[in-house]
Chains A and B, each alone.
Chain A
């Protein structure tokens, strides 16, 4: 799966979580721009995990602040 496909699938998942409907770029932050709290993060991560059949451990989540970093991390996980 190439990065563009990972990106488009994550964009679909993120829609209902993007309450303010802001434009999402590679630099959009989850905590700051999207105002995700810890419960939202859990639900969002669970959906991504199920979509791609992967695990994003809490340890990995701690390294992901921006949208682009998430796409990279998921792309790495599905490619490995």
Chain B
């Protein structure tokens, strides 16, 4: 018996013609090794040893300003939010150990969905365990064989994966190109079901979609419309409902997808809709059914945060001010940005290449500033970007400090 175990523990030796399944990652391994050999800190294994506030943490031993966390509304340390989570943790335990459709729907999950319905003023809300799963689940479930999904080429990975998981025909169009979208919609065979998938804010460059025009064209061509508002919730639109609200088309879209991991300040995803049959999704959507539901503390923090975001007008205004100041400051310093005008709370700084981008990222970290390094294939047009996401609780002084850090790092690396 023990001999058998000993033998099973021996790793099988690869013979000449047996491929190593990991050889397909060799190029990525090499890219990473070359990057680290240039002496930069590893951009993809940063550890936050302590988190002091929504905008400050100790990273790799340094006191660091956080400018790349999507914590747009600074809710992560809100005393009401933290207290709600602590109470739920004490009253309902650490986890549900079950699916939403079995033993995993607690009072808190219903209250969280109530908060979402109120926030969006919509009839139905469905909470998923992550935003990724919300896109994966809704898109793969509603667009079936013979249906068509028409989507922006720069869509988030979760949208693409939702397309890949389903059986519909997938038709991408050039980023934010209204004509390209319309042409493709008109070519779809008569009688086929159509779903148009758009994002309010595209997270790589921080640009927004021309939703007013696009939603109208989609509806005129008989398509249902799904808009991912992950990067606008709580911030864009009068009530923080997103670009759909700002563009005046919220009543025309069929589904809004969102996340709790940005403005809401915890983790989880959701879909809200006015579709009369929407509730059936809870039984047919596999990424909703076949996973455990969110812990009670998480849905309690989310519900509390969502309700506070409804009235966070002052925070929205300060976040806009921050975004505008950072955008104009970086432009004046000579950096190339993803958009000519600030359109969201994301300011993307375009780097000449990955090496310079990684060097700049590393120099900023040494200055005490954390931003996101975004690189191909996640980026459009193979760009390397330093993505900055502002927070409503960054102070005016912090934004000026950030600009000073960019100036010193940019000069040291030779980008400006």
Spell out A's residues near B (CB within 8 Å).
37-39, 42, 46, 49-50, 53-55, 57-60
Main SS of chain B's interface residues? mixed
Establish whether residues A54 and B187, one from each chain, have CB atoms under 8 Å apart when the complex forms.
yes
Q: Knowing A50-B183, A57-B148 are in contact, say whether A42-B381 is a contact too (CB < 8 A).
A: no
Establish whether residues A55 and B381, one from each chain, have CB atoms under 8 Å apart when the complex forms.
no
- Taking the closest CB of chain B, its distance from the CB of A7, in whole angstroms, is 22
B381's partner among A39, A53, A60 (CB-CB below 8 A) is: A39
A-B interface, 7 closest residue pairs, ranked by CB to CB distance from nearest: A57-B169, A58-B170, A55-B187, A57-B171, A59-B169, A55-B171, A57-B170
Name the residue on B nearest A60 (C-beta). B169
Name the residue on B nearest A54 (C-beta). B187
Contacts of B187 in A (CB 8 A): 49, 53-55
Cβ contacts B180-203/A at 8 Å (1 or 0 each): 100110011000000000000000
Q: Knowing A38-B377, A39-B381 are in contact, say whether A55-B172 is a contact too (CB < 8 A).
A: no
B184's partner among A37, A42, A49 (CB-CB below 8 A) is: A49
Cα-based distance from A39 to B163 in the complex (angstroms): 18
| Count of chain B residues with a beta carbon within 8 Å of a chain A beta carbon | 17
- Taking the closest CB of chain B, its distance from the CB of A18, in whole angstroms, is 20
A-B contact count (CB 8 A): 34
Cα-based distance from A58 to B167 in the complex (angstroms): 11
Name the residue on B nearest A62 (C-beta). B170
Contacts of A59 in B (CB 8 A): 169-170
Cα-based distance from A68 to B173 in the complex (angstroms): 24
Establish whether residues A46 and B377, one from each chain, have CB atoms under 8 Å apart when the complex forms.
no
Name the residue on A nearest B169 (C-beta). A57
Contacts of B188 in A (CB 8 A): 55
Establish whether residues A42 and B174, one from each chain, have CB atoms under 8 Å apart when the complex forms.
yes
Establish whether residues B170 and A39, one from each chain, have CB atoms under 8 Å apart when the complex forms.
no
Spell out B's residues near A (CB within 8 Å).
148, 153, 163, 169-174, 180, 183-184, 187-188, 377, 381-382
Main SS of chain A's interface residues? helix
Contacts of A42 in B (CB 8 A): 153, 172, 174
Can you sample 17 A-B contacts with CB below 8 Å?
A42-B172, A46-B173, A46-B174, A46-B180, A49-B184, A54-B187, A55-B148, A55-B187, A57-B148, A57-B170, A57-B171, A58-B163, A58-B169, A58-B170, A58-B171, A58-B172, A59-B170
- Taking the closest CB of chain B, its distance from the CB of A43, in whole angstroms, is 8
Cα-based distance from A37 to B380 in the complex (angstroms): 13
- Taking the closest CB of chain B, its distance from the CB of A52, in whole angstroms, is 10
Additional 5 contacts, C-beta under 8 A, given A38-B377, A55-B148 = A37-B382, A49-B184, A50-B183, A54-B187, A55-B169
Establish whether residues B153 and A55, one from each chain, have CB atoms under 8 Å apart when the complex forms.
no
Name the residue on A nearest B183 (C-beta). A50
Contacts of A57 in B (CB 8 A): 148, 169-171
- Taking the closest CB of chain B, its distance from the CB of A28, in whole angstroms, is 24
- Taking the closest CB of chain A, its distance from the CB of B215, in whole angstroms, is 21
- Taking the closest CB of chain B, its distance from the CB of A64, in whole angstroms, is 14
Name the residue on A nearest B173 (C-beta). A46
Name the residue on B nearest A52 (C-beta). B187
From A37, A39, A58, A60, residue with most partner B Cβ within 10 Å:
A58
Name the residue on B nearest A55 (C-beta). B187
- Taking the closest CB of chain B, its distance from the CB of A73, in whole angstroms, is 14
Contacts of A53 in B (CB 8 A): 187
Cα-based distance from A49 to B382 in the complex (angstroms): 24
Contacts of B169 in A (CB 8 A): 55, 57-60
Establish whether residues B184 and A55, one from each chain, have CB atoms under 8 Å apart when the complex forms.
yes
- Taking the closest CB of chain B, its distance from the CB of A80, in whole angstroms, is 10
